[in-house]
Structure 1
Amino acid sequence: MNTRSGLFAVAVGALTALGLACGGAESVDELPPEPPENEVNFPALVQGVVNGWTINTSEEFPPIGCGAGSLINQMRCVGGNCDDVGAYCASAGATFSDTYWTSYFSEEGTNYRTCSAGWWMTGLVCRGAHCDDISIQCTQVTNRGTGSCRWADRQFSEEFPNTYSLPSGWYARGLACTGGLCDNLRVYECQLL
């Protein structure tokens, strides 16, 4: 094992031991997440939009994300196979602490990632043709609690409603995809208390 791989394995083990690794199963519909991929190049932390739409991102563009205190309550995509993805960041009065990026996911294998308990989705980055592989940014909220959580009752893509709006008071805590090149997206949503 080279030094880089060894340090990565130690870091992943420490995060897991602290309960900070993504994907804590919160409903019977969820499966445990896959372990992070080796040698994943996680993007720099995102400082982003506080109240409004982000620019769209894809594999050729930088990560998108919400600024301090804002959480994602709408998402959209345009272009073939949901190539370009954007998010609406709404001011939620949240106090942020630490941030991490999940491992990438696609329709092959485990096709979703969710943020750990107390952590909320605040950003997104893509790699691969048409945003085929997705990693989400999870940020710890220290001043608010979490109510009920569920997978959204519908998917969104460029072919049919290309925007998904979460119910009032609900925000994204994860994302899943189906279809070739991660074409159809579904939000894991929770009430912010």
Structure 2
Amino acid sequence: MSNKVFNILIAGIGGQGGLTLSRILAEAAVKTGFSVKTGETLGMAQRYGSVVSFVRIGDNTYSPIFGSGEADVLLGLELTETVRNMRYLRHYGLIIAADEYRPPSMASITGRAPSRSILLAELARYNAVVVPARKIAVETGNPRALNMVLLGVLNAATNILPHHVVEDTIRSIIRGEAGEKSIRAYYEGHKWFKNHR
């Protein structure tokens, strides 16, 4: 990566591991030698509310937050949140989205939530990779590792972090067996992207 700043937006719902993903990504980038700034915005409820994390990697990072049209990559942990945050994506930016669909409960009751097919059709208009992340995570033995599957896809698409640094960082943040399963999910996400691009 050159000395340009690389902006990543992580969008999801509380409880999906977006903040953990942001932390692992930032710490791995620092260990690789980059300057990193991070920031978050949390929805009304931490669990099931909207959670957006900003990760800026590069030599000249000053503010942790960036504006509309500045994200190089949008990592979406849930389809509704991915589409809702596409305004942050720069022209020709990359969207990596889990195919997870969990519309806000009130929106589904009132019928105001866009359907899964509408969201997928919207993503199809962009440079988007839709990942069966939950399925891959379940196959690794840790259904909660959807976030690590997306980290693997991100690194396969961008090649910004060495694998051994990502592994060490996951182990330092997620301990024990859950950490090992998270590493497996990371590699499965990486492999999935290589096999599907």
TM-score, normalising length from structure 2? 0.24
Tell me which protein shows more strand as a share of its residues: 1
Which structure carries more helix by proportion?
2
